[in-house]
Amino acid sequence: MSRLRKDPRAERQERQVAAAGRRPRIDVGHREAKAASGRLRRDPWREWSASLVGESRRKRYDRSQRQMEHGNSARLTRARARDGVEATEISPGQPAVRVIDEPAFLVFAVITAAGGRLSRLDRQLLGAARLLADAGDGGGAAVAITAAFDPVTAKDLARSLGEAGADRVLSVPGDIHPSGTAAALRHHVEAFAPRHMLFAEDGDSADLARRLAVSLNEPLFAGVEHLTPRSAVRALRNGTREVALAPPLLMTLGEDRMKPYESGPCEARPLDIEVGPFGGDPAILSVEIIPGDPASLALSETDFVVSAGNGVSDFAAFGDLAAVLKATPGASRVVCDAGLMPRAAQVGASGTVLAADCYLALGISGAPQHLQGIAGCEHVIAVNTDLHAAMIERAGLAIVQDAQLVMPALVKLLAERQA
Amino acid sequence: MKTIVLLSDARNPVSGRQQLSRLEAQAIGLAAGLCEKPRGLHAGSGEDGVSAGLGHGLAGLDIIDLPATDDPLPALAGFIAKAMGGAGAPELILCGRRGEGGEETGLVPYRLAETLGLPILADAVAIRAGEIAGTLVVDQAMAKGARRRVTIKLPAIVTVHSLAPPPMPFAFGRMRRGEIRHHEPLERLGLPDTAARSDASAEERPHRARPKLMRQSGTASGGPNLHVGPEPDEAARLILDYLEANGIRRYGSS
Ligand SMILES: Cc1cc2nc3c(=O)[nH]c(=O)nc-3n(C[C@H](O)[C@H](O)[C@H](O)COP(=O)(O)OP(=O)(O)OC[C@H]3O[C@@H](n4cnc5c(N)ncnc54)[C@H](O)[C@@H]3O)c2cc1C
């Protein structure tokens, strides 16, 4: 907005006529009022239309600051300018970065960030750390600890860590085995004396948490199911009883227990600390990582599924595609009933309910029984000849095209990119 | 190589009766592949649950008689330390991940390793003897089907992952033939129990089921992303770009 904001009180003051009596007198004819504050006037109409999401008939607004950041200027200028007000850019909408300069205490969250990307559980851990850091009077800082962080190359990671709620980032040596990482973590705990420390109850993080608990001789509150600033709850005795106490130092958190952090980005400032080289366990002679083969993975374990439905007739091409995409093959019930794919590959209510991140559906109509199986998939891609198929509606990327043509094109393009 | 499998006092979640935990049955299966006569070790009261381990492939079972309320760790550590001093010392100690029916923190193997000064590896799915004598090759389960192959010097403690091969079938005759030895707890080793000095604010109560967060799904990239009748090559490009933009897979580099 270009007009300045009015300040009615200042204007009134301006018009006041000095008089002897007790009653204030105002000169109504006085016109040269100048605004006392230099602030610009808000245009709520424009802000609303800038936060409009999508172009469906039913209006949806996203008023979070994140949307303002991503809401590109194209959308802002497209917002209808009202009569008499010339169209100008509203402020770039960069949400203010939340800075905590002198943290009163620290909350550590040990995250994996495999491949430099935050997983769901990583975000949830940072959300929990944020919750504990803002507890009571607040003023605490959430510190993300990760082996994947390299301050020089990991600009993207730093940004996503900030958006996920990390005030500080600490790196631990990217040791290939947890025994070395545990020593580095212990060093950090002694140097910074955090109030709480959160781990994932999963894989190496769970292992690390226990190594640290034993080496610090601290109790471990494993598998927290419910966490508030006042209390942490975990199940015990086969899930028949639970125990609640004030959040202790060491906790591990299961998946989907805490909400990720969602308001404005935090700073994610790297903390510099000298860590000497930590020799791993002398008993460990060699370590070698063997990457998983998606084709041999069970559907319930994999992260990416390519699935064939009744619209696929060329199963040789489908098999090739799954192999080059490094995805686990799946199928709809019709295909399994016809014996074209093994029963173990069936996705859906009477097959496997997936926990994968991404689902590529080729020639699948999207029957409710099938959609139930992919309810948890974050990214869905559909290729179907029918524009009105339910799968097209469900998908994040929908392509109306013959699957028999798309499959060889994909294989060809992948071969080109890998060459 | 001589192998011991630690057996916990697992309880059936419904009836509360003692039973053999499945993970420990899998551990017995792994042990049987390495050692001709794997032995089980249990500290606690009663042998109803753990004796099933004999039917799943253990050659013998040592039970340290302890009241059910006692911390089993010092007695276990004392027993193992004594066995390691003598002839036929155990080289490999296999355990499950966590108890079933108790505190369920999964700390016992780690505290045992600390007390005995042994290295520990978690989440084994396959184990075999190394090429050099006195070493062991362990495959650890990692996310997305990856494995980490670690060569470790014995003696060591290894915990088993649920993706390890299924347990050997139960045989009643083998359970009857198996020999059970009872021991008195002799010396006790170990750290003070950390659970005992946990918070005074701790409160135990009946469990309340709390629903997990719903997995959010939908169009992560913003608005609808619909392409009607693109050329197949264009469609392929769109799909690959979508996959790479969302970090599902990277195809260019590898
Ligand atoms: C009790 C019960 C349980 C069930 N459980 C399951 C289950 O667990 N899993 C499951 O999958 N189903 C299940 N079903 C079956 C389900 O209702 C559907 O029948 C089934 O999912 C349909 O499979 P489809 O989409 O592959 O086939 P169709 O419905 O035949 O769809 C084929 C799709 O492919 C498209 N197509 C055709 N040709 C091409 C082409 N050349 N290129 C691209 N697209 C093309 C068509 O437009 C159509 O959308 C269950 C049903 C019942 C009654």
Q: Are residues B184 and B216 in the same domain?
A: no
CA nearest ligand 1 atom 31, residue: A365
Sign of CA dihedral A371, A373, A376, A380: negative
Residue B205 located in a structural domain: no
Instruction: Tell me, rounded to whole angstroms, the distance of Cα A298 from its chain centroid.
Output: 26
Asked if A100-270 and A294-418 have one fold, the answer is yes
Strands A241-245, B203-206: pairing is: antiparallel
Same domain, B47 and B121: yes
Contact A165, A266 (CB under 8 A): yes
Mention every residue, 6+ apart, whose C-beta is less than 8 A from residue A252. Answer: A198, A199, A200, A201, A205, A206, A209, A220, A221, A222, A223, A224
Within a domain: B202: no
Contact in structure between B34 and B124 (CB atoms under 8 Å): no
**Contact criterion met (CB below 8 Å) for A200 and A253:** yes
Same domain, B88 and B166: yes
Residue pointed to by tokens 């524009």? A387
The CATH number assigned to the domain with range A294-418 reads 3.40.50.1220
Task: Tell me, yes or no, whether B39 lies in a domain.
Answer: yes
B162 contacts on A by Cβ (under 8 Å): none
The HSE-up count of residue A117 (CA atoms within 13 Å, CB side) is: 10
Other CB atoms within 10 A of residue A366 CB: 22
Interface test with A, best of B100, B132, B207, B243 (most A CBs within 10 A): B207
Quick: pLDDT tens for A45-100.
877 877 777 667 788 877 765 444 444 433 444 444 444 444 444 444 556 788 88
Ligand 1 atom 9, closest CA: A348
Tell me the best of A299, A333, A400 to mutate to test the pocket of ligand 1, counting ligand atoms within 8 Å of each CB and taking the most. A333
Q: For residue B79, how many C-alpha atoms fall within 13 Å in the half-sphere facing its CB?
A: 22
Q: Any CB–CB contact under 8 A between B232 and chain A?
A: yes
Q: Under an 8 A CB cutoff, do A285 and B152 touch?
A: yes
Rounded to a whole number, what is the distance in angstroms from the first to the last CA of chain B? 41
For residue B133, give the DSSP letter.
T
Work out whether strand B10-11 and strand B18-19 pair parallel, antiparallel, or are unpaired: antiparallel
Do B248 and B156 fall within a single domain?
A: no
Interface test with A, best of B194, B214, B221 (most A CBs within 10 A): B194
Looking at the structure, tell me whether residues B126 and B230 fall in a common domain: no
> Are the Cβ atoms of A179 and B119 closer than 8 angstroms?
yes
CB A95 within 8 A of CB A266: no
pLDDT for the residue B154: 87
pLDDT in tens, chain A (419 residues): 567 778 888 888 888 887 777 788 888 777 665 555 666 677 788 778 777 776 677 888 777 654 444 444 334 444 444 444 444 444 445 567 888 888 889 999 999 887 777 888 899 999 999 999 988 777 889 999 887 666 556 677 888 888 889 999 888 876 667 777 888 888 889 988 999 999 999 888 999 999 999 989 888 999 999 999 999 999 988 888 899 989 999 999 988 889 888 888 888 888 877 666 666 677 888 888 888 777 778 888 888 999 999 999 999 999 999 999 989 999 999 999 999 999 999 999 999 988 888 999 999 999 999 999 998 888 899 999 999 999 998 888 999 999 999 999 999 999 998 88
pLDDT digits (tens, 9 = 90+) for B69-100: 888 888 899 899 988 888 778 999 999 988 88
Q: Does A401 touch chain B (CB under 8 A)?
A: yes
* Chain A residue with the nearest C-alpha to that of B199: A245
Chain-centre distance of CA A117, in angstroms? 9
Instruction: Report pLDDT for B39.
Output: 92
Whether B176 and B229 map to the same domain: the answer is no
Domain A100-270 classification at class level: alpha beta
CA distance B162 to chain A (A): 12
- pLDDT for position B219: 46
Same domain, B78 and B185: yes
Residue A349: DSSP 8-state = T
Which residues have CB under 6 Å of ligand 1?
A 309-311, 332-335, 346-351, 363-365, 367, 369-370, 373, 383-386, 389, 402-404
Q: Compare CB distances from A245 to B113, B152, B201 and report the shortest one's residue.
A: B201
- Model confidence pLDDT, tens digit, residues B106-156: 899 999 999 999 999 999 999 999 899 889 999 998 877 788 999 999 899
Q: In chain A, what is the straight-line distance between the N-terminal and C-terminal CA atoms, in Å?
A: 52
Q: Residue B195's pLDDT band (boundaries 50, 70, 90)?
A: low
User: What CATH number did the domain enclosing B41 receive?
Assistant: 3.40.50.620
- Give the domain ranges of chain A: 8-40, 100-270, 294-418
Question: Strand B10-11 vs strand B120-129: parallel, antiparallel, or unpaired?
Answer: unpaired
CB contact, 8 Å: B36 with chain A? Answer: no
3-state secondary structure of A358: strand
Same domain as B18, residue B87? yes
Signed CA dihedral, A275, A281, A285, A286: sign only: negative
Residue B44, domain member (yes or no):
yes
Note which residues in 37-76 of chain B have CB less than 8 A from chain A: none
For range B200-219, the mean pLDDT: 75
Strands A141-146 and A168-171: parallel
Nearest to B82 by CA among B24, B4, B7: B4
Do B95 and B12 belong to one domain? yes
The burial of A285, by beta-carbon neighbours within 10 Å (0-12 exposed, 13-18 middle, 19 or more buried), is given as middle
Contacts of A203 in chain B (CB under 8 A): 123, 141-143
Q: Where are the alpha helices (DSSP H) in chain B?
A: 22-34, 52-55, 73-85, 108-116, 172-177, 232-245
Q: Where does the pLDDT of residue B20 fall: very low under 50, low under 70, confident under 90, or very high at 90 and above? A: very high
Note the maximum CA span of chain B: 79
Contact between B3 and B13 under an 8 Å Cβ cutoff? The reply is no
Ligand 1 atom at minimal distance to the Cα of residue A331: 11
Counted domains in chain B: 2
With an 8 Å Cβ cutoff, are B236 and A287 in contact?
A: no
The reported pLDDT for the residue numbered A227 is: 92
Question: For residue A114, what is the DSSP state?
Answer: G
Q: For residues A298 and A292, what is the distance between their CA atoms, to the nearest angstrom?
A: 11
* CA nearest neighbour of B33 among B125, B157, B152: B125
* Ligand 1, atom nearest to A350 Cα: 8
**The predicted structure's pLDDT at residue B215:** 67
Banded model confidence at residue B220, pLDDT cuts 50, 70, 90: very low
Provide the 8-state DSSP code for B104. -
Tell me whether B148 touches chain A (CB under 8 Å): yes
Q: Which residue(s) pair with A73 in the sheet?
A: none
Residue ranges making up the domain that contains B241: 211-254
| B133 burial level (CB within 10 Å; 0-12, 13-18, 19+) | exposed
How far apart are the C-alpha atoms of A378 and A398, rounded to whole Å?
A: 14
Q: Beta strand A250-253 with A196-200: parallel, antiparallel or unpaired?
A: parallel
Mean pLDDT confidence for B191-214: 72
Q: Which residues, listed in sequence order, are joined to residue A328 by a DSSP beta bridge?
A: A305
Query: What is the pLDDT at residue B94?
Result: 95
Using the mean position of ligand 1's atoms as its centre, give its distance from the Cα of residue B227 in Å: 21
pLDDT at B57: 92
Pocket-testing residue among A310, A347, A388, ligand 1, by greatest number of atoms within 8 A of Cβ: A310
Helix (H, G, I), strand (E, B) or coil at B41: strand
User: E strand or H helix at A413, and its extent?
Assistant: helix A403-418
* A164 CB-near residues (< 8 Å, 6+ apart): A118, A122, A123, A126, A127, A144, A260, A261
Among A220, A244, A418, beta carbon nearest to B251: A418
Measure CB to CB from residue B239 to each of A286, A376, A397 and give the nearest one. Answer: A397
Does B182 map to a domain?
A: yes
